[in-house]
A and B are shown apart, each in its own frame.
Chain A
Amino acid sequence: MTKFVDLHLCAPFRNVEQFKKMVTKSFELGYRSVGIPLPPNVELDEVQCLRKICSEAGLDFVSRVDITPKNTQELLANLSRLRRKFEVVSVLCTSKPIARQAAKDRRVDVLSFPVAKPRNRFFDSAEAELASESSSSLEIDMASLLSLEGFLRIRLISSLRREVAIAKSFRVPVVISSGAANDYLLRDPHDYSALAMLFDMDSSLAFKALSEVPLCIVERNRLKLSSDFVAPGLRVVRRRDP
């Protein structure tokens, strides 16, 4: 059975009732793992509490941080500070230098771009080549596609179509996430797959973007963050008793 992952569920984690409602809804819709964006200074107790709520709802909790740096120096500083604290690191690329730096940095898992300004979507072939080498993924938040209307939505669909075509040709993995901040913006993985047709993503690729790709990111990072990890391909199997 396919394990669907919503890597960007923007549930208000300080509002426990709403958080519970959203994670329960996610489970009902068929997701088995959710990535919750958290502030960089989040307390460990809070994370444990969220993890517990998710596991009670039948979901696997994935901690995620969204970095929105002003320049490349800030991006690098944030990455070295936060990489080992969160399972998924996403960078919102607001300028071309940030986009380039984020695409070539192996510590970045997910690249996302501003929705409101199509001119600020810097995912071109150069960016895709860098992302492909550093195994970063392109993230598509479906909430923006649902909430925008008229000309803005047309521009967004057009940008997404171009980006998906570039990602395909450079073998950059694409992640489809909900990006939902309320339960009315949550949709079934099959609905997202149908919506992905709008930007020329076939259903098999869309299902991969909803399951295999995010799952692979999470598993890779969990392995790296575990105390047994030594280097890529090398991990501690057994320790000698003290």
Chain B
Amino acid sequence: MIRRVKKRYLALKIESVESFDEEDVKDVVWSAVIQLFGEYGASQVGLFLVQYDRERKEAVLRCSHKALPMVQASIASVTKIRDKPVAMHVLRISGTLRALKKKLNDDLLV
């Protein structure tokens, strides 16, 4: 029997003077994963952008539980989006969206 793949949800804060599109954020995280771990590594992370708030510069990503350290390292390695300096910080990590919301204690996730 195939076991269910456990997931992790990460709340991110993007620090930059600029605002970016959802596509930019998605692209930069994928590029960072591919740069650090290659296509084989990227195939294991199961990365998905669940939500993105352009105004607050916050995002929620979903990834495979096993690939969490890879995703964290990739997110930390991001220094630019469209040649603009940025820093991406992981605010919280959780196993479910509901728990993430509880931990963040705000209205980012509706």
- By a beta-carbon cutoff of 8 Å, the part of chain A in contact with chain B is 29, 145-147, 182-188, 190-192, 194-195, 197-198, 203
Contact = CB atoms under 8 A, between A and B. Distances in A.
Nearest 8 A-B pairs (CB), nearest first? A194-B72, A191-B76, A194-B73, A184-B85, A184-B87, A195-B73, A187-B76, A195-B76
B107 to A, nearest CB: 21
B15 interface: yes
Interface of B: 15-16, 36, 69-70, 72-73, 75-77, 79, 85-87, 89-90
Secondary structure class of chain A's binding surface, majority of residues: helix
23 contacts: A29-B89, A146-B76, A184-B15, A184-B79, A184-B85, A185-B79, A186-B87, A187-B76, A187-B89, A188-B76, A188-B89, A188-B90, A190-B72, A190-B90, A191-B72, A191-B89, A191-B90, A194-B76, A195-B73, A195-B76, A197-B69, A197-B70, A203-B69
Contact of A146 (B69, B72, B77, B90): B77
Contacts, number: 46
B87 A187 contact: yes
B44 to A, nearest CB: 14
